Amino acid sequence: MNFLSEIIAAKQRRVAAAKLHVPLFALKVAARKRRDGAIAHSLRAALSRGQRAKLIAEFKRRSPSKGPIRADADPASLAMHYESGGAAAISVLTEEDYFGGSLDDLRIVRETASCPILRKDFIFDEFQVYESANAGADALLLIVAALDDKTLTRLRTLAEDELGMDALIEVHTPDEMRRAIDCGADIIGVNNRDLTTFGLSLETSIELASMAPANAVLLSESGIGTREDIERLRAAGYQGFLIGETLMRSYDPAQLLRDLVGSPPYELPTVSVKICGITNLDYARAAISAGADMLGFNFYEQSPRFVTPETAGAIIEDIRANTSSGQRPLMIGVFVNAAMEHIFNIAAAVKLDGVQLHGDETTEFCEQLKNHYGQGLVYKAINGSEELDLKTLVEHPADAILIDAFDPQLRGGTGHLANWTMAGKASQLLPRIILAGGLSPENVRDAIKSVRPFAVDACSSLEVSPGKKSAKRIREFVDAVRMSTLQPATGAEEN
């Protein structure tokens, strides 16, 4: 019997014993209730945001191959070190017999850290999926080598589609990579350690990278200890890196995390994403989970996406109470020809980060608003279907100019394209151009390449009907933007 078979046999006994103490139906109810208050697919969002290497810091007490690492480690203390060091997520190894872990370790980390939490264990039963959710995990590990295709697909679907968690699908061989792809894996982890022999080689990640689909988030696991390792794997296509033993043995894990991430030769400028027309908490959570940088709330009563200040305030309050500062987007209120006092009253009541003026507001009005709004941002939308007065725009007091297609009835969310050529000219002169108007997952990469905006704004293309968002379309849009990182101004082509 190999190591993997031994561990799974021990885990099967543990799961059988747990089922005697907790009925499955009761666990399902508790897990679903716990996930109702959680942000869906937060691990994928954390791994997809920005350009720097994303490190998942692991809490692991011991190893079957090397014995005790830090058997008396305090999960709360390590979680604080990991998060302060910039970890994108924290992995908690909960297997009891060979790794010395427990679900209690995960619960303590969940209470301490605000970043996504991955449960790393040997999972083969739906009971363990609900158990993971109820303990506070945002994601869980599914090892292809330990599961048949039917079980792998069923557990992934249960975790991702029913509970809004992420499933890290772990592979070791080309055949396992093919099986992961066939099961619909979104996040694929290549473990450089062979779980049958516990041999270790980074070449495993290098060899399997080319097999992964373009839209998958690739994660390399085990044996990563230096920045050189990370840079080599990044060059092969990996966005994330799971690091355990190196951090667990470190005197200062927070500083080690900072050293491992390092600074690239230059930080490629990224395009911010604004998802507009948010009308309920589910849509807001979907946008945050996808990685949106700004959420737009439309206070124009004639819009099909109109939201009352009371509803917007409740959504924003919930988000700020349940989202870490690193994941929290800016809250922008959209107004059309509203009185200044009305704008101020709503901005204060709802606690907006900024306002977007989408009507016929004059430059003088914008300047007065900006002068009296304190630290709040002011964006001014202009008609991108007409010739732009670039000189006036250069001198405009707004923090950003939003170029949109124009419809006098809708005032945003028209589905029509703005003039990208004119927007591109404006982008060359102004520090912050926000491009809107008919942007979708299908065309946003071309739009970014043509215009090079500070941010992009999408609304109607992400809906199944006016005011009703599609979480899938939101995620596709943000993913498309993240794949469209602006290159330095040297004529280099987009990746």
Residues assigned a catalytic role: 276, 404
Do the bridges between strand 354-357 and strand 330-335 make them parallel or antiparallel, or are there none, so unpaired?
parallel
Amino acid present at 168: L
Residue 169 is inside which H or E element, if any?
A: strand 166-171
* Alpha-carbon span 256 to 184, nearest angstrom: 34
The partner residues of 89 in beta bridges, in order of sequence, read 56
Share in percent of the chain as helix, strand, coil (round to 5): 40, 20, 40
Distance CA 228, CA 232 (A): 6
Q: What is the 3-state secondary structure (H, E, C) of 198-240?
A: CCECCHHHHHHHCCCCCCCEEEEECCCCCHHHHHHHHHCCCCE
Q: What Cα–Cα distance (Å) separates residue 154 from each residue in 10, 162, 357, 370, 478?
A: 22, 11, 47, 53, 27
Residue with tokens 């209470």: 111
Question: Is the CB of residue 237 less than 8 Å from the CB of residue 218?
Answer: yes
**Strand 139-143 with 117-120, pairing:** parallel
- Report the candidate in 115, 119, 146 with the shortest Cα–Cα distance to residue 130: 119
Tokens at 44, concatenated? 């994928």
Nearest C-alpha neighbor of 191 from the set 302, 180, 371, 270: 180
Q: 273-287 in b/e burial notation, b at 16+ Cβ within 10 A?
A: bbbbbbbeeebbbbb
Q: How many CA atoms lie within 13 Å of 190's alpha carbon, on the beta-carbon side?
A: 31
Closest C-alpha to 60, from 195, 242, 191: 242
CA angle 254/132/258 to nearest 5° reads 10
Phi-psi region of 89 (alpha: psi -120 to 50; beta: other; left: phi over 0): beta
Q: Give me the residue label for tokens 């009907």.
A: 465
Instruction: Give the C-alpha separation, 448 to 174, whole Å.
Output: 35
Question: Rounded to an integer, what is the distance from CA 218 to the centroid of its chain?
Answer: 14
- Which pair of structure tokens corresponds to residue 386? 């007409």
**3-class state of residue 89 by DSSP:** strand
Inter-residue contact 24 to 123 (CB < 8 Å): no
